[in-house]
Structures are given as C-alpha cells and as structure tokens.
Amino acid sequence: MTRQYPQYQSITSPLSSREKGDWGFKRPLPLKSTMTTSTPLIRVKQVDSIENVTDFASAADHSLSLEKFHELGVALSIPKGNERGAAPTRTDQWRKSVFEEDMDFTVTREGRAGDKRWKFNGPWLARMPEGDFLEYLEKKVRPKRAQFRRLLKDKLAADKTANRARIAKDQGKPAPSTIHPGDITEQEFTNYVRSLRSDRATLYGLVSKFLDLAPLGQPVGIIQTFLSTGDNAAAESPYGKSGPPPSHPSAGISYLRTSSYMENHPVYGPQGRRTPVMSRVVYPRSGPAPAKLGVGGFVADAPAGDNEFNMRPSRSRVSYNKKMLAGIQHLDTNTYGGAKAYVDPESASIDPSGKVVLQLRDADPESQLIAKEYQGRENVYVEQQRSASKQQTRSEADPWRVGRVADEILGDATVASQEGKDVVGSSSSYGLDRQR
C-alpha cells in the first residue's frame, strides 16, 4: 500500500548509465524492470539483502505526486484547530504560512502561552493509543518521578521566598533570607502536592514543561483556564487541537510563502483567480461527510458552501436553477473515468500522521471557461467571426463609401483611385478633401 509519506530516497539514473544497469550501487540492476518504464525512479529498501540482491521498487508514486503538487502552486499553511467545525470568523479566512518567524522555530521559550513551536521531545498524548500510552508511562514517566519531586521542591521554595519577600515589602521591612529546598519539611511538601492535584492547570503546566509534551489546547475547564495566568496559562500553540507534525510543517514539498499571486493571460490580461484544476470524484457523499475529490494525486474534501458539490436548500430561484454534479450523491458509472469538475486549491497543511490536507473552493465560472478554451473545448474569442461582423457593420455605417462610388462613376479627379488597398488615416478616407 502506498504510504502517505515517503520512507526511502527516490533515485534516478541517466539513460547512458541506465542502459548498462548502472544506478550507482555495488551491482547492476536488471534491465528488464528498469528499461521498460517511462518513470525511471526507484527506491532502494536494502542494498545487499540476505539473498545477495539489491531490494528495490518503483518510486514513481511519491515523485510524481511531488511534481503534480508543485504544478498546483499551493503554499503550506498552519493547520486550523477544526476544519469542519463552526463557520470561520473574519480573521480565519487568512491562513498563516509555516515560514513565518513567530511560527518557524524549535527552541523553547519562556512560558507556555507563547509556545508556538512545532518540535517537541515528548509525544502528543491525544493521539497515542492506549498500549503506547501505558508503555510511555512505564518507561519514560516513572523513572523521572524523583527528578520531578526535586523540581516541585525547588518551585515550592521559590514560591515561599517570593511570598515572604512580597509581605516584607508591603510592611516596609527588609527582605528576608532565601528559603532553600532543604528547609522544606515533608508535611509542607505533601500539602503542596495535594494542592497541585486540585489545581489542574498549574499541574499540567509543570508536567508538560518537565516532559516537553506537545500542547493539548485547553486541558481543563474554561473557568480554570481563564483563572490561570502567566506560565500556567493554556498553550496557544496552533498544534494544540490538530497535533504537531512529524517533521517541519512544510514537509519539504513546497517553499512558497503565499499563494497570493496573479496570473497574466496572453489575451485577457491579469486574472482575478488562478487557473482551476480538474478534479475527479473518487467517493460520493455519505451522510454528513462531504464527498472526496482526487486533485493532483491527493484526496481532499469537496468545497463547502452552496455549489455543485454541496447543494443547500434555499428559497431563491437561483439555487433551484443550479444542478448538482453527477457522482456526489451516488457513484457515477456512466461517465468515462468518473465525474469530473474544476476546483481551485486554496491552501494545504500537514496533519500529525504526515498526510497532505488540501483545502478546496469552487472554481469561478469565468476561470473554468478560460481553462476549457485553453484545452480546445470552448470558443471564447473567435477572430474570423468577429472580423466578418466588424467588416459588415463598418460597410453599413460608413456614409462616405456611397460618395466614393459616385465619384468613381462620374470620374471625379479630386479622388485618387487606388486599387487593391484601403487608405487608412488619409484626408480622402475621412472625406476632408471633398468640395462642398
């Protein structure tokens, strides 16, 4: 099965070396399987296997998918918390690039509220299976119990020192001595641990900072989250709900910072929207789940809204005149190759499993017409018909041509007879030399 992300390097070889079976390894590869393909791309699983052969396979799937993704011209953006949730607000319409300075960093910053990095040493607990979670507790968390207790003692000593200094400052007394962790009794430490168990926001902040866990959004109730401030505030990381990516958020498949660029058509000039992409319905809609479309080798949800993919009931006459695309409600078996439609790729992001998530919107009718004209399926600008219509209109609306015919018959010497060409821009063509 094709995985959602590559695991091996894609290797190619020039034709002069490929004809000899030379791919740069210790032994030549068979010509029967490497010369009969139009995509000479391989992935080597093992250079020298136990059978003394080079274990390789075709790497055309990921390589061609990368090439087609580059042709889409889509920039990678930070994933939203809920792509299918409530209607997006005005600020959610603009997606932020993964290469912004306030997002593209891996170092730990002070406080959890501004921690927007994408790389963490600890796992994302919300996605871990139960078996992996129990194994993580047994092998990673429990051995660090003593170290975490020392951290709590240090924090308790720092809090008590700061509290005593604040009281002394309010009373106008000199600053007291510093309290060390060794000065704390076991009873005080036990009471402090009990208080932390009831304050989940503070406890979660200490644990996540100690284990460097990926954020989980709001781990406690809304009231406790608003009451917690400073280092105890809930993380505002963009990966709190969707989860951190397994690699850089761009995954190395695109280095575009934005998709906001304008296409210039050679005939119609600058275009308001880019050239749409032909998509194919690969899975019809099932209940509330939207239909699945195949776009450039990637599967994405159908565009939301009142369009041919998702018809919404409305009382307006415009909605009743629209037609839903074939294959949305049921699988289209009549159309050759399946139902197809134009879409406009808006943005893309990488989910925690490494999959490319495309966000689509319905294509503009004018953009679809121009794209069909480029493929020879529609005629928008016909030169011959337009020239003939223009010539006929000009002959009917030119009052001076009747006078020119009369001058030719009467033999008027003031008008020069020029056969075979039409004088444009001269005094005779505009009738300025006529005697009145």
Residue 3 belongs to a domain: no
Residue 52 belongs to a domain: yes
Domain boundary among 30, 54, 72: 72
Per the model's pLDDT, the better-predicted residue between 403 and 171 turns out to be: 171
Which positions ≥6 away from 265 have C-beta within 8 Å? Answer: 271, 370
**Could you tell me the pLDDT band of residue 177, with boundaries at 50, 70 and 90?**
confident
Are residues 143 and 228 located together in one domain of the fold?
yes
Q: Which domain holds residue 42?
A: 10-72
Query: In this model, does residue 57 exceed pLDDT 80?
Result: yes
Residue 172 belongs to a domain: yes
Are residues 67 and 117 located together in one domain of the fold?
no
Residue 22 belongs to a domain: yes
Are residues 153 and 207 located together in one domain of the fold?
yes
60 — phi, psi (to 5°)?
-70, -25
Query: In this model, does residue 363 exceed pLDDT 80?
Result: yes
**Could you tell me the pLDDT band of residue 70, with boundaries at 50, 70 and 90?**
very high
The region of weakest confidence among 69-73, 138-142, 281-285, 394-398 is 394-398
pLDDT given for residue 430 in this prediction? 46
Q: Is 55 helix (H, G, I), strand (E, B) or coil?
A: strand
What is the number of structural domains in the chain?
2
- CA 81: distance to chain centroid? 14
Q: Extract the tokens encoding 371.
A: 């794209």
**Could you tell me the pLDDT band of residue 405, with boundaries at 50, 70 and 90?**
low
Are residues 174 and 224 located together in one domain of the fold?
yes
Residue 27 belongs to a domain: yes
pLDDT given for residue 68 in this prediction? 92
CA atoms within 13 A on the CB side of 205: 23
Distance CA 117, CA 123 (A): 14
Q: What percent of the chain clears pLDDT 90, i.e. is strictly above it?
A: 9
Helix or strand run (H / E) with residue 11 = strand 10-11
Residue pair 198/167 in contact (Cβ under 8 Å)? The answer is: no
**Could you tell me the pLDDT band of residue 407, with boundaries at 50, 70 and 90?**
low
Query: In this model, does residue 90 exceed pLDDT 80?
Result: no
Read off the pLDDT of each residue in 206-220 and give the average, rounded to a whole number.
75
Residue pair 342/363 in contact (Cβ under 8 Å)? The answer is: yes
**Could you tell me the pLDDT band of residue 343, with boundaries at 50, 70 and 90?**
very high
Read off the pLDDT of each residue in 254-263 and give the average, rounded to a whole number.
86
Q: Is 363 helix (H, G, I), strand (E, B) or coil?
A: coil
Are residues 174 and 63 located together in one domain of the fold?
no
Largest distance between two CA atoms of the chain: 128
Are residues 64 and 119 located together in one domain of the fold?
no
Domain boundary among 232, 261, 276: 232
Domain boundary among 185, 201, 232: 232
Are residues 109 and 67 located together in one domain of the fold?
no
Helix or strand run (H / E) with residue 163 = helix 145-170
Per the model's pLDDT, the better-predicted residue between 389 and 347 turns out to be: 347
Highest mean pLDDT among 143-152, 172-181, 409-418: 143-152
Model pLDDT for residues 95-133, shown as the tens digit of each residue: 888 888 877 777 766 555 556 788 888 888 888 888 988
Model pLDDT for residues 268-304, shown as the tens digit of each residue: 888 888 889 999 998 888 878 888 999 988 999 988 8
Residue 124 belongs to a domain: yes
Read off the pLDDT of each residue in 417-426 and give the average, rounded to a whole number.
47
**Could you tell me the pLDDT band of residue 319, with boundaries at 50, 70 and 90?**
very low
What does pLDDT average to over the chain?
Answer: 77
66 — phi, psi (to 5°)?
-65, -40
Are residues 163 and 220 located together in one domain of the fold?
yes
Residue 221 belongs to a domain: yes
Are residues 131 and 20 located together in one domain of the fold?
no
Residue 39 belongs to a domain: yes
**Could you tell me the pLDDT band of residue 156, with boundaries at 50, 70 and 90?**
confident
Are residues 224 and 110 located together in one domain of the fold?
yes
Are residues 67 and 120 located together in one domain of the fold?
no
The region of weakest confidence among 19-33, 71-85, 141-155 is 71-85
Are residues 127 and 217 located together in one domain of the fold?
yes
pLDDT given for residue 392 in this prediction? 57
pLDDT given for residue 91 in this prediction? 46
pLDDT given for residue 428 in this prediction? 53
